[in-house]
Amino acid sequence: MPALLIDMPSGVAGDMLLAALVDLGGDLARAERDLLALGIGPVRMTATRVQRSGISALLVDVDADQEPRWSQPLSQPGKLSITPVAAHPVGALPSAAHGHRPYAAIRDLLARAALPPRVVERSQRVFRALAQAEGAVHGVAADAVEFHEVGALDAIADVVGCCLLLEQLNVTRVVAGPLTPGEGWVRCAHGRMPVPVPAVAALLAAYRAPQRRLGHETGELTTPTGCALVCALADAWLEDTSPAMRVQKIGYGAGHKDFPDTANVVRCQLLAEEPVGDVVDELRCELDDATGEQLAAALSELLAAGARDAYLTPIVMKKGRPGHVLSVLCAPADRERLAKLVLTRTPTIGVRWSRVARLKLPRRTDTVVVRGHSIALKVVTGPDGDERAKPEADAIIAAAAALGLGFAQVQAEALHAWHARR
């Protein structure tokens, strides 16, 4: 199950990411056919091999035959519909035909499209991120946002096309390096704006994305569409991942600008997820002034709030006081939320944290029947390929109580049933 690493030394735009995914082996013609499911007419995408500072990369151009008008029928107030106008080359359309594209209309368009569920979910995630960022900039709710450039047909094709190519490549995890927003000024629908434009700045802040600042004027290097694709689809930033990675394939997507001193490309690397590993943050604090009831309640609440694990270790603290170390394992994205929970649910006045890599054995669940009772098991595969199973304790306890048997006997019968079926 491959992971994808996105490297953006010169920024990112939707068409650059699209091109890099095609260079990795994505089928552009198939993506074109699948985009017809949106019901917005044919979208043509062409790929050309170009050179950027000596690097061979693909350049993708997106063209469409028609531009949808987004309208609100008088007979159905509150409901948005899409009415295609007569076919025109996109570049020949009058500016009025481009209008504003309501986020709600794009969201509903995606919800109705006959596309794979993961493609729809990822596409919705990207446009929701854009709507939330635009809403934050303009001080309105996300559902009230009307897009300008990012609502154009080519931007919709960039977003959904990237998600289609991720599905083709069976990418299950996306890791992104620092974004390079650029510096200077750019002119857009709202007038002359500083770089990064407000929507990109809002996205970078909302996702706490790592940035690379170049220290000199470059113009816009990261577009709102490109930024939203990376921020919304990234499962982790490069700093949050284990350094142990095996590269399977590399693809380069070119931007339309060719800088004399910089390779204007996005590099995507297809990574092998073997061995199966990830990283977690470990939160720790020492407590010598909490009751047992308070500690037990805190552990339960931390686990219910999404901690991977939470446990207590008895220690002897200063002045000979008995105490406990509270340890919480969590995903990096959950660190601050769970740290605040520790600070509010225990008497501690500080929490330390560190990031650790871990190696996990592949696991799955299975079920056996013991004397008419279903017993769930956790099955793991060892480094040598052998499987071992462990019945879930709660299921064993329930079955043992119902059958009037001991825990050990029901556990042994569950394991025997599992081995007999192999």
List the CATH number of the domain containing 286: 3.30.70.1380
Residue whose structure tokens are 């950027």: 52
Contact 377, 367 (CB under 8 A): yes
| Residue where a domain stops, chosen among 240, 272, 304 | 272
Q: Indicate the burial class of 27 (C-beta count within 10 angstroms; 0-12, 13-18, 19 or more).
A: middle
Shortest CA distance to 194 belongs to which of 223, 219, 227?
Answer: 219
Tens digit of pLDDT at every position of the chain (422 positions):
578 999 999 999 999 999 999 999 999 999 999 999 998 888 899 999 999 999 999 999 998 754 544 333 333 333 333 333 333 333 332 333 444 578 998 999 999 999 999 999 999 999 999 999 999 988 988 888 888 665 578 889 999 999 999 999 999 889 999 999 999 988 766 677 888 888 999 999 999 899 988 888 889 999 999 999 999 999 888 764 444 556 789 999 999 988 887 889 999 988 875 544 567 899 999 999 999 999 999 999 999 999 999 999 999 999 899 999 999 999 888 899 999 999 999 999 999 999 887 777 888 889 999 999 999 999 998 888 899 999 999 999 999 999 999 999 999 999 999 999 87
Contacts of 203 (CB under 8 A, 6+ apart): 129, 130, 133, 209, 224, 227, 228, 231
Residue 242 pLDDT: 46
**pTM summary value:** 0.62
- Please tell me the predicted confidence (pLDDT) of residue 2: 77
**Of 218, 242, 272, the domain-final residue:** 272
In 10-137, beta strands by DSSP E: 43-52, 55-64, 68-71, 81-84, 101-102
Contact 37, 202 (CB under 8 A): no
290, two tokens: 């909490």
Distant-in-sequence contacts of 52-56, Cβ < 8 A, 24+ apart: 52/252, 52/254, 52/255, 52/258, 52/263, 52/264, 52/265, 53/259, 53/261, 53/262, 53/263, 53/264, 54/263, 55/252, 55/263, 55/265, 56/252
- At 122 the pLDDT is 96
User: Which residue segment(s) compose the domain that 154 sits in?
Assistant: 3-272
Q: Which residues pair with 271 in a beta bridge?
A: 3, 247
pLDDT value, residue 277: 57
The confidence score (pLDDT) of residue 92 equals 30
Which residues are CB-contacts of 236 (< 8 A; sequence separation ≥ 6)? 173, 175, 176, 279, 332
- In this structure, are 13 and 76 located in the same domain? yes
The answer on 69 and 98 residing in a single domain is yes
Rg (CA), the chain: 26
Same domain, 223 and 297: no
DSSP state of 197: P
Boundary of a domain, candidates 272, 300, 333: 272
Q: Beta 309-316 vs 68-71: how paired, if at all? A: unpaired
Distance of alpha carbon 365 from alpha carbon 354, whole angstroms: 31
Spell out where 72-153 has E strands. 81-84, 101-102, 146-147
Q: Do 266 and 328 reside in the same domain of the chain?
A: no
| Per-residue pLDDT, 306 | 92
Q: How confident is the model at residue 87, as a pLDDT?
A: 35
The answer on 176 and 110 residing in a single domain is: yes
Number of domains in the chain: 3
pLDDT on residue 52: 93
Q: State the pLDDT at residue 215.
A: 80
